[in-house]
Copies of this chain bind each other. A is one copy, B any other.
Amino acid sequence: MTNPQSNTTLKILAEKLGLSKGTISKALKDSHEISVATKNKVITAARELNYVPNHFASGLKSRKSNTIAVIVPEIVDSFFSLAIKGIEAETQKKGFHINIYLTNDEKAKEEEIIKVISDGRVDGILISICSETNSNDHLQKLIDYNIPLVFFDRAAEKIETGKVVTDDFQAGYIASNHLIAQGCKKVCFLSISESLSILQKRTEGFVQALLENNIKNPERNIFQISTEKAKCVKTIKLLLTDPENRPDGIVISVELLTIPIYNACKELNISMPGDLKVVCFSNLPYADLLSPSLSTITQPAFEIGKQAAGLLCNRIEKGTDIRFEKIICPSRLDIRGSSHH
User: What residue of chain B has the Cβ atom nearest to residue A123's Cβ?
Assistant: B1
Cβ of A285 within 8 Å of any chain B Cβ, yes or no, is: yes
Cβ of A319 within 8 Å of any chain B Cβ, yes or no, is: no
Taking CB atoms, residues of chain B closer than 8 Å to A88 are 75, 100-102
A56 near B60: Cβ-Cβ < 8 Å: yes
A84 near B75: Cβ-Cβ < 8 Å: yes
Contact of A147 among B4, B82, B120 (CB under 8 A): B4
Cβ of A31 within 8 Å of any chain B Cβ, yes or no, is: no
Give A262 to B290 CA distance when docked, in angstroms: 11
Taking CB atoms, residues of chain B closer than 8 Å to A292 are 291
Taking the closest CB of chain B, its distance from the CB of A52, in whole angstroms, is: 5
User: What residue of chain B has the Cβ atom nearest to residue A287's Cβ?
Assistant: B286
**A246-300: which residues lie under 8 A (CB-CB) from chain B?**
258-259, 262-263, 284-286, 288-293
Cβ of A145 within 8 Å of any chain B Cβ, yes or no, is: yes
Give A259 to B97 CA distance when docked, in angstroms: 32
Give A290 to B290 CA distance when docked, in angstroms: 4
Cβ of A217 within 8 Å of any chain B Cβ, yes or no, is: no
> How big is the A interface, by class?
35 or more
B1 near A54: Cβ-Cβ < 8 Å: no
B85 near A81: Cβ-Cβ < 8 Å: no
User: What residue of chain B has the Cβ atom nearest to residue A6's Cβ?
Assistant: B145
Contact of A145 among B5, B59, B82, B85 (CB under 8 A): B5
Taking CB atoms, residues of chain B closer than 8 Å to A41 are none
Give A95 to B121 CA distance when docked, in angstroms: 14
Cβ of A28 within 8 Å of any chain B Cβ, yes or no, is: no
User: What residue of chain B has the Cβ atom nearest to residue A262's Cβ?
Assistant: B289
Contact of A115 among B5, B95, B98 (CB under 8 A): B5
B60 near A60: Cβ-Cβ < 8 Å: yes
Beyond A5-B145, A142-B4, is A102–B85 a contact (Cβ under 8 Å)? yes
B286 near A145: Cβ-Cβ < 8 Å: no
Give A77 to B60 CA distance when docked, in angstroms: 37
Cβ of A99 within 8 Å of any chain B Cβ, yes or no, is: yes
Give A147 to B102 CA distance when docked, in angstroms: 26
Beyond A54-B120, A119-B55, is A4–B141 a contact (Cβ under 8 Å)? yes
List 23 A-B pairs, Cβ < 8 Å.
A1-B63, A1-B122, A1-B124, A2-B146, A4-B118, A4-B142, A4-B145, A5-B141, A53-B119, A55-B65, A55-B121, A56-B121, A59-B59, A67-B121, A75-B75, A76-B85, A85-B102, A97-B101, A100-B100, A259-B289, A286-B286, A290-B291, A291-B292
The 8 closest A-B pairs by CB, nearest first: A291-B291, A4-B145, A56-B60, A56-B59, A55-B119, A55-B121, A4-B118, A100-B100
